[in-house]
Amino acid sequence: MKINYTFFSAITISMVICSCKAQQSSLVKDEAKLVQVSNAYSFTEGPAADKLGNVYFTDQPNNQIIKWNATDNSLSIFKEPAGRANGLYFDHEGNLLAAADEKNELWKIDENSYVDTLVTSYEGKKLNGPNDIWVDLKGGIYFTDPYYQREYWDRSEPEIEEKNVYYILPDTNEVNIIASGFVRPNGIIGTADGQTLYIADIGDKKTYSYSVQKDGSLTDKKLFTAMGSDGMTVDNKGNIYLTGNGVTIFNNKGQQIHHIPIKEDWTANVTFGGKNQDILFITAMGSVYTLKMNVKGVRY
């Protein structure tokens, strides 16, 4: 999440449509239009799709997790309060994982909104504030842990100096530092085959790729692009979607192949939703948007 976000007062849900004809791409459905589903929030983040294509996202300032229904385009509150949740991701059992940074925790939320707190600290020290999450094919959980000072915290500095990426082993729930050396790691996403992991260091305006080993460890760190990102996603063609100034799409060689402009000060995150996983769901400032695509998201 961006450090200094603007708080927008809630207004009624609207359906504002902007043409995307100016930048046609085979990635985007012919004649598709960017649809503003709602601008009723303060700062939207963390979109994650369930197996039915419904998308859950957060409004961190208002301490809510909201559900977008893929069938009727409706919006409803799934959980409130929500631990000041930021990034979200579904595990293989259908539980919603949440980077709940009110108390610097990682949550697992079941379909009845019951919370199981997975992580609260590392080696006796508070986490900086879990931000974004990815689950690998085995069920191991990667999460980024930058430090963004929150007004609702009592502390004013981190207990862990380094800004790390952590991995929770699927069998033992042991938590380990899996990658380090970042200014401020933020967005994180893996490929469909589980062999490549992308981590954005938004503090250093860079995104890196790593090779994922059988034990979840990371090797072969490479600079993917000289651009950071807030949230990230991938499609079924192996393209990587970065956010910040709208949505910028790269192929797996690190070449920019498309840009989706969003008329907001900041685009925070992106995922694929809908019954067929072909709707790009975008969170930006106080709004959420959808765009029909020719490519699809990745289900594990």
Sign of the CA dihedral with 102 first, then 107, 113, and 114 last: negative
Task: Please give the model's pTM, rounded to 2 decimal places.
Answer: 0.91
pLDDT band at 106 (very low <50, low <70, confident <90, very high): very high
pLDDT band at 299 (very low <50, low <70, confident <90, very high): confident
Q: Is 18 exposed, middle or buried (0-12, 13-18, 19+ CB in 10 A)?
A: middle
Single-letter code of the amino acid located at 208? Y
The yes-or-no verdict on residue 259 having pLDDT over 60 is: yes
Reference 270, options 283, 260, 261; nearest CA is 283
- Selection from 207, 130, 126 nearest residue 161 by Cα: 126
DSSP H stretches of helix in 16-83: none
pLDDT, tens digit, for every residue of 185-220?
A: 999 999 999 999 999 999 999 999 999 999 999 999
Torsional class of 53: left (φ above 0), alpha (ψ -120 to 50), beta (otherwise)? left
Confidence bin at 18 (pLDDT 50/70/90): very low
Domains of the chain: 16-292 (2.120.10.30)
Q: What is the DSSP letter of 62?
A: G
| C-alpha 284, offset from chain centre | 12
The overall average pLDDT reported for the chain is 92
Residue 262 near residue 3, CB atoms below 8 Å: no
Q: What is the DSSP secondary structure assignment for residue 5, as one 8-state letter?
A: P
- Beta strands 85-90 and 96-100 are antiparallel
Which amino acid type is present at position 217?
S
pLDDT tens digits, one per residue of 130-186: 999 999 999 999 999 999 999 999 999 999 999 999 999 998 999 999 999 999 999
As a whole number of angstroms, the distance between CA 286 and CA 107 comes to 24
Q: What is the pLDDT of residue 279?
A: 98
Three-state SS string over 221-237 comes to EEEEECCCCCCEEECCC
DSSP assignments along 242-290, one per residue: EEESEEEEE-TTS-EEEEE--SSS---EEEEESTTS-EEEEEETTEEEE
What is the reported pLDDT for 25? Answer: 58
Residue 20 has pLDDT above 60, yes or no: no
- Answer yes or no: is pLDDT of 6 > 80: no
Q: What is the pLDDT of residues 48-61, one digit of tens each?
A: 999 999 999 999 99
Query: Given this model, what pLDDT does residue 3 score?
Result: 44
